[in-house]
Structure 1
């Protein structure tokens, strides 16, 4: 049995390699290549492939034709059409062999259908030009195997009969393990630099966060202060609560959600702080993001604002009540005047008659 997953890595990786030089970008960058193959039975396999630079989707595979779909306009021009044709042919040959070998191994080890095989591989490039490469294999959504680049060995993520069997198969293919090691340790950084050059505009994109603070009364003894932050890009962000100007440390009263995507390719999250009503402290939500530079967003919340809103509501209600009373009094006065004028006219008519 040949390697089940990671021989997919070199073909997909070439999909992401534009020619050129590295632009002046700062920070840590990651390329990830993802493969998901769902084995419904011995004759039907549904395979998806995706290439990512950070959170930017570069390209994917059509699950029916196994052809490449480009998501960014700067990926396709990186290589001649003939090279893309060669890459697509390599992917198709690989997937045919992959499906056959996985089904063969599943039957040998009595693996029940359906099941899912997943692979993730790539590399990280750090600001000091050092790098880290990685390759992982998953089975039914759980970690299964990983590749130790330094020792060129496959490491068990879970100790089962199936994982030991796959590990032994992969370890016997020393030529393949050497290929993975050399490919990612020696060429990944150079390829990353080229890709960063072509994707500089997309990577430089910045969207300012928009933050709002509001309160929700969860019980008579507790108020939830909610800080909602949305519309920001890139993904990394720092959101903290300040109590009397001091950052609230992690604890059971503090809860921050995961960073979630918006439909417009920006992100959102919310942070919640539980406080006692009228505890006498001032609170503010602080947001730090790359698009803000050295500045921070500071959105305060306080009882004074609630009192102001409540006072405004009471004042408005009083004004409306006074206006209603005044209007009623004016209406009654005019009605009384009209009645007096009518009686006066009737009296005059009566005398003339």
Structure 2
């Protein structure tokens, strides 16, 4: 079963555009007091969990058997050492900055995401973002080597200035994401080809609820599908119902087995004489659609 935090992070991530792939390094650090910080970290290729940090040692534990063989040992050593140095510096940075600015260093939550996106023409885009207590905090402009403020506060200006002067870290980020992204990503894509090509067909159920005598809610629940992109629509007499107040499409949610689920609800009048069908299109189905009729009532 996947870690609950990992499932939560999947809710925050959007799939890469068609023809591109993204590697993300995710960090959540919770400062419970000045002497203790709890840090969790994950590495993702698209939505495949490559590995996670050991909370005590900050060593990397790999979750996919093909990850470690994909990259040279020297690359993994560089990444692991960089992570350990960065986390140590990050903890000191936040503690010192919060103390100097009378910010209580209790239950401060920082979330960081860094990575790169590789396009089909072998160009790439690197990125790094920092959030603070659920709000955007800083981002790193890789092209210009500058940290950009989202929230203009004493603490954010202090962190920005300190990171800006932490040239060794900035240079290492530049090297990792600009110089090695394409080569290392292509190796990961080659070794992880089978995992990325995995397909699980959707299973759909149609049922109804009656919140009032004047309204019927037709629910199409689709689950167990992978990869994430999917198209689900309600058809009225064979014609797609367009977006509007009667149609509610939920978010695509992760299941614990790294498949996804989605629910789409259509409000109708009982006995309106129309027939309704839920139509599902997904990569695993090829060119055909899965049609689940509700029928005429």
Kindly indicate whether residue 64 of structure 2 is the aligned counterpart of residue 34 of structure 1. no
More helix by share: 1
Kindly indicate whether residue 288 of structure 2 is the aligned counterpart of residue 295 of structure 1. yes
Residue matched to 1:213:
206
User: Deviation of residue 166 (structure 1)?
Assistant: 1.9
Which residue, 40, 52, 57 being the options, matches 1:48?
Answer: 40
User: Deviation of residue 55 (structure 1)?
Assistant: 0.8
Residue matched to 1:109:
101
Deviations 1:119-141 (A, max 9, x none): 10111122343332211011112
Deviations 1:140-166 (A, max 9, x none): 121101112333322222222222222
User: Deviation of residue 178 (structure 1)?
Assistant: 4.5
Distance 1:27 1:85 in 2: 30
Comparing 123-132 with 172-181, which one deviates more in the overlay? 172-181
Residue matched to 2:49:
57
Residue matched to 1:232:
225
Distance 2:71 2:186 in 1: 16
1:49-128, aligned counterparts within 5 Å?
Answer: 49-78=41-70, 88-112=80-104, 113-128=106-121
Distance 1:156 1:185 in 2: 22
Gap runs ≥5 in structure 2: 1-17
User: Deviation of residue 199 (structure 1)?
Assistant: 0.7
Contact 2:97 2:155 (8 Å CA) reproduced: no
Which residue, 185, 190, 208 being the options, matches 2:183?
Answer: 190
Deviations 1:269-308 (A, max 9, x none): 111000111122221111111111121112121225xxxx
TM-score (normalizing by structure 2): 0.86
C-alpha spacing 1:78/1:131, structure 2 compared with 1 (3 Å): closer
C-alpha spacing 1:32/1:84, structure 2 compared with 1 (3 Å): closer
Distance 2:241 2:136 in 1: 35
Distance 1:247 1:114 in 2: 48
User: Deviation of residue 81 (structure 1)?
Assistant: 6.7
Gap runs ≥5 in structure 1: 1-25, 305-353
Kindly indicate whether residue 126 of structure 2 is the aligned counterpart of residue 133 of structure 1. yes
Residue matched to 1:147:
140
Distance 2:19 2:141 in 1: 25
Contact 2:86 2:169 (8 Å CA) reproduced: no
Distance 1:130 1:203 in 2: 20
User: Deviation of residue 263 (structure 1)?
Assistant: 2.6
RMSD between superposed Cα atoms in Å: 2.2
Which residue, 189, 196, 201 being the options, matches 1:203?
Answer: 196
Which residue, 268, 276, 290 being the options, matches 2:261?
Answer: 268
C-alpha spacing 1:128/1:97, structure 2 compared with 1 (3 Å): closer
User: Deviation of residue 118 (structure 1)?
Assistant: 1.7
TM-score (normalizing by structure 1): 0.73
1:310-329, aligned counterparts within 5 Å?
Answer: none
Distance 1:77 1:132 in 2: 24
Which residue, 151, 157, 162 being the options, matches 2:150?
Answer: 157
User: Deviation of residue 28 (structure 1)?
Assistant: 2.2
Comparing 156-165 with 251-260, which one deviates more in the overlay? 156-165
Query: Larger Rg: 1 or 2?
Result: 1
SS where residue 302 of structure 1 aligns?
Answer: strand
